[in-house]
A and B are shown apart, each in its own frame.
Chain A
Amino acid sequence: MSAFSAIGEDRDVDQNEFTPGIEPQATWCPGCGDFGVLKALKGAMTELGKNPDEVLLVTGIGCSGKLSSYFDSYGYHSIHGRSLPISRAAKLANPELEVVAAGGDGDGYGIGGNHFMHSARENHDMVYIVFNNEIFGLTKGQTSPTSPKGHKSKTQPHGSAKDPIRPLSMSLSAGSSYIARTAAVNPRQAKEILVEAFEHDGFAHIDFLTQCPTWNKDAKQYVPYTDVQDADEFDFNLGNRRDAGDVMYEAETRLADGEVLTGRFYQDDRPSYDQEKKRTGEMPEQPLAERYFDDDYEWERSADLMHRHR
């Protein structure tokens, strides 16, 4: 018998289940794109029939990090840039948990960039949502890794001399096996993409455009948007890295010019990390977390290793 009865239970779920009984008032500004992520996530979890007690949402720091405060599940509001190493270890300890990591563009592509690259490479079976508003919001409007070249802010008074990060291309080269971009202003697509991402067996990275009405007024509300799957201009196979790379390059370049391309950019079916580790014999078949509740388990002892030292 599992010690975690919330996991894998077949049930009908009401969207309200992911809203705390007494809702903490969100500190996001009116019109903030972050509300769109919260709504899409609640919608996706409801559609997937998840139990709030089987979901672990790990967030970083920034406005985006507060997602775990307003979404009712097990939440871990961690530290700046570190949502991925915490969440992926939780997934290894208990692969049956539904694990989501979320953070902003500074969090994921800046301070946590190393973790992003390696988590994608390892292809953990989890979803990673990056709230991309092209600005540092909570610290009041500094230039971020995705801010366009020339972006002026208090810390870049003469305009940024740096080209922005290309998050989709970076994700592809790092090894994510599902890559999509959606926007808060497109709730229907956002929910669909999130559902797909959760159903995908591997590292699913969603670059989620979240408008910042307070600190990034110059930036568009990410409308109008074009879904690359619906655009005649782009006819490509999601599993083809070269084609995907081309379309990503276009999406990233055109965003700076105000053209918003969203949709699915890449998907492959390479084995997830836990599958690979099970194959090499470095991961138990049964979730490790279950073992500590199993009174019958015969724990191995160091005494079993003494023959090496005699």
Chain B
Amino acid sequence: MTNDELLWRIAGGSGDGIDSTSKNFAKALMRSGLNIFTHRHYPSRIRGGHTYVEVRAAPHEVKSRGDGYNFLLALGDSFARNPQEDAYYGNEEVKPLTENLDELREGGVIVYDEGLLGDDDLADLNERADENDWHVYPLDLRGLAREHGREVMRNTAGVGATAALLGMDLAPIEELMEERMSGEILEQNLEILEIAKSEVESREFTHDIRMPDPGAGHDEQQVLVSGSTAIAYGSIDEGCRFISGYPMTPWTDVFTIMSQNLPEFGGIAEQVEDEIAAAALAIGASHAGAKAMSGSSGGGFALMSEPLGLAEIAETPLVLVEAMRAGPSTGMPTKPEQGDLEHVLYTSQGDSNRVVFAPGTAEEAYEQTRWAFQIAYDYHIPAIVLYDQKLGGELKNVDESVFDREPNPSLGSVLTESELEDAPHHASGKFERYRYDGEGGVSPRSIPGQENGRFLVTGNEHNPSGHISEDPDNRIAQMDRRMEKLTSIRATLDDAETSNQTVYPPEAVDEDRTYGLMTFGSQQGTVEEAVDVLSESGYSVKALGVSDLLPYPEAEVRAFLDSVDHCLVVEMNASAQLRGLTQKELGDVGSKLSSLLKYNGNPFEPEEIAAEFETHVEGGGDEPSKNTKFVPAAGD
């Protein structure tokens, strides 16, 4: 991390308004011309429990959570359970101040709410502050809020204090408040913001950190979006107007965004009895001629295994999204992990016949969701967008033009009634929807209600008109045709103008480097920043973020691995699933691949990857971290 960036952490309890406050703060900084990346950490609770959001802001591009933080606004957990030291979960009230304090950088600033946290709670805070050169500014945030408005407005007071300490202009914050509030609530918030700021400004400052200078600012209009937003918007732009689902963290975000927007766009959103139904509804709607999606997180996706397999053999277009969280079973519901890769690749009986994308950024989430729809409807195959709690929830600024795109409502490989009239029919009268000779394995479909289009769909193996068949020759022809689709899809993706795989730095595509870092999904930006850190330390290194997981981008990964002597595969799970997949797909790269794994509920930080690289790969550096695990190369 360079010193010209702010890593502002706002910490409190669930229900304390951390999310909305941080979002507005981030947006204000974006409007002031800075680049933004946020990181959310929250418990599976409605009220109380240590929650924080980090807002990283810098004039340069930021692609990851940062390394630690340099500004803490500790509100205290106003919904804490019994606040005693010896309580089962410890004293929750003070956790927003004391938990993860180790990660506060030297020279960091602490603002805490004196109104909630007294001297007794903060036994060794001043001592530690001295040791670490932290600068502590207590302020009675809730007292101030109560006096000039309502106690819940203490977050506003905290933002006012932040502005004072960072020498930040209030204008963008006030502007946002004016857009979101009105009347007395607005007046009170503006007053509290102002008063908190001037109250803190009257003090003597001992810290050096200031708001980074945005310089020239952004070249074009920026928007602040999450991965979940990008997935939902990609779906909307592909003409998806049907979603069915069942709430489950963290998939609920996509489901909510779609449910709120679809009615206005003449679409249909269905919250149903369970995830089996959710996936089955998407299949039913798609069969009847709508572009449809469903999704869930790991546990709900497990229930979708059965309909997913049906969509494979029935060749009903289907788009699913899977938002990973730490498993197995209920696991850690609000913590990110990448442990569902194999689950999504292989779940359901029989040979897998699906497409899986794992976008690495919000922009990729938008693009690859669009890909998922195009492939699902062109090739009559389930396409899955695999992401996680981290990518789904983190906010970053992107160029608004990313979303300024033509919609694509095409239903893909579908015949019109006039085409159906001349299409081949079986003597029984049925349209031959599953012919062996389809181009690229795809035999076009009809939609119920179309004259001369009727055919039978079945989850059994079937002949060209859809009737159940166990004839060996037919079985081979249908199986081969369905599997052939994966080959044609791979060719389509390989021929596309832009690859879904990202080599970093871009200029290193055709260069040999000593080391490679490889990852998939949400860790891409963090791994890229680790490459920057290592390059600065003089290492010859480059990174590959893989998004196409099925069909696997064999040629691109092979080219990358050929260009490095050794590759460290970085992923958030305990069994090295991406590395396993890569070894299986390429067959002879086992001696080149080692793993850095993390599964403690927190995503990687850039310097953490760099440090572990130095320790394990280079064989120097510090003691291995207890937060990650290194697995050396073990051959094929």
Residues of A participating in the B interface, judged by any CB pair closer than 8 Å: 3-7, 20-24, 51-54, 56, 58, 61, 68-69, 72-79, 82, 84-94, 96-97, 114-115, 117-118, 277, 281-284, 286, 288-289, 291-293, 297, 299-303, 305-306, 309-310
For residue B451, which residue of chain A has the nearest CB? A6
Residues of A within 8 A of B272 (CB): 85, 118
Q: A309 with B229: in contact, given A90-B284, A118-B273 (CB under 8 Å)?
A: yes
> Is A89 in contact with B237, judged by CB distance below 8 angstroms?
no
- Indicate whether B346 reaches chain A with its CB closer than 8 angstroms: no
B448 at the interface (CB under 8 A from A): yes
Please tell me which one of the listed residues B31, B269, B289 contacts residue A282 in the complex, with CB atoms under 8 A apart.
B269
Q: Looking at the complex, which one of A52, A75, A286, A299 makes contact with B239 (CB distance below 8 Å)? A: A299
Q: What is the total of A-B residue contacts with beta carbons within 8 Å?
A: 239
B268→A282 contact, CB < 8 A: yes
Question: Is the Cβ of A20 less than 8 Å from the Cβ of B280?
Answer: no
Chain A residue with the shortest CB-CB distance to B429: A21
Partner of A94, one of B236, B270, B288, B292: B288
Bound form: Cα–Cα A98–B473 in Å: 36
Q: Say whether B457 contacts A292, CB under 8 Å.
A: no
CB <8 Å contact, A4 and B460: no
Q: Which of B31, B263, B451, B468 contacts A5 (CB 8 A)?
A: B451
Q: What chain A residues lie within 8 Å of B286 (beta carbons)?
A: 93
Question: Which residues from B are CB-within-8-Å of A300?
Answer: 236, 264-266, 407
Give, as a whole number of angstroms, the nearest-CB distance from A96 to chain B: 7
B198 at the interface (CB under 8 A from A): no
CB of A89 within 8 A of CB of B270, answer yes
27 contacts between A and B (CB under 8 A): A3-B447, A4-B450, A5-B450, A21-B428, A68-B458, A69-B456, A73-B454, A75-B466, A76-B457, A77-B457, A77-B458, A77-B468, A84-B277, A85-B277, A92-B268, A94-B289, A94-B290, A277-B268, A282-B269, A288-B241, A291-B241, A292-B411, A299-B407, A300-B407, A302-B237, A306-B400, A310-B31
Given the known interface contacts A24-B428, A302-B233, A302-B236, the answer about A89 and B451 at a Cβ–Cβ threshold of 8 Å is no
In the complex, residue of chain A having the shortest beta-carbon distance to the beta carbon of B450 = A4
Q: CB-CB < 8 A to A286: which residues of B? A: 266
CB of B441 to closest CB in A, whole Å = 22
10 A-B pairs with the lowest CB-CB distances in the bound complex, closest first:
A89-B284, A4-B449, A302-B233, A289-B289, A85-B280, A309-B223, A90-B288, A77-B458, A89-B281, A86-B284
| Chain B residue contacts of A6, Cβ below 8 A | 449-451, 453
Q: Are A92 and B450 in contact (CB under 8 A)?
A: no
With a CB–CB cut-off of 8 A, which chain B residues contact A24?
Answer: 428, 467
Task: Pick the residue among A72, A84, A93, A306 that contacts B289 (CB under 8 A).
Answer: A93
Q: Which residues of B contact A79 (CB under 8 A)?
A: 280, 306-307, 310, 459
Which residues on the A side are within 8 Å of B428 (C-beta)? Answer: 20-24, 72
Among B234, B241, B292, the most chain A Cβ lie within 10 Å of the Cβ of B241
Contact B449 A58 (CB under 8 A): no
Contact flags (1/0) for B283-315 with A, using CB distance below 8 Å? 111111111100000000000001100100010
Chain B residue numbers with a CB within 8 Å of A86 are 280-281, 283-284, 287
Given contacts A76-B458, A85-B281, 16 further A-B pairs with CB under 8 A are A4-B450, A21-B429, A24-B428, A72-B430, A74-B453, A76-B284, A82-B276, A85-B284, A90-B285, A97-B448, A281-B263, A291-B266, A292-B410, A302-B234, A302-B236, A310-B223
Interface size on B, residues (CB 8 A): 81
Residues of chain B contacted by A68 (CB below 8 angstroms)? 456, 458
Q: Which of A5, A84, A97 contacts B288 (CB 8 A)?
A: A97
Q: How far apart sit A82 and B273, CA to CA, in the bound complex (Å)?
A: 12
Q: Which B residue sits closest to A8, measured CB to CB? A: B449
Whether, in the assembled complex, B575 has its beta carbon less than 8 Å from a beta carbon of chain A, the answer is no
Are B409 and A299 neighbours in the complex by a CB distance under 8 Å?
yes
Q: Which residue of B lies closest to A282 (CB)?
A: B263
Beta-carbon contact of A20 and B290 below 8 Å: no
Return chain A residues, CB-CB under 8 Å to B307: 79, 82
The chain A residue with its CB closest to the CB of B430 is A20
Q: Which residue of A lies closest to B281 (CB)?
A: A89
Considering the chains assembled together, what is the distance between the CA atoms of A21 and B467 in angstroms?
13
CB distance from A230 to the nearest CB of B (A): 37
Partner of B310, one of A78, A292, A302, A309: A78
A105 and B487 CA atoms in complex are apart in Å by 42
Give A128 Cβ to nearest chain B Cβ, in Å.
14
Q: Which residues of chain A have C-beta atoms less than 8 A from B410's C-beta?
A: 292
Note all chain A residues with C-beta closer than 8 A to B68.
none
B287 touches A97 (CB 8 A): no
For B277, the chain A residues whose CB sits under 8 A away are 82, 84-85, 114-115, 118
Give chain A residues whose Cβ lies under 8 Å from the Cβ of B285. 89-90, 92-93, 288
Tell me whether A90 and B467 are in contact (CB under 8 A): no
Looking at A5, A6, A7, A82, which has the most chain B CB atoms within 10 Å of its CB? A82
**A78 close to B280 (CB less than 8 A):** yes
B560 is an interface residue with CB less than 8 A from chain A: no
Q: Give the CA-CA distance A52 to B449 in the complex, in Å.
A: 9
A111 to chain B, nearest CB (A): 10
What is the CA–CA distance of A21 and B400 in the complex, to the nearest angstrom? 57
Contact B417 A3 (CB under 8 A): yes
Complex alpha-carbon distance, A22 and B286, angstroms: 29
Residues of B within 8 A of A61 (CB): 459
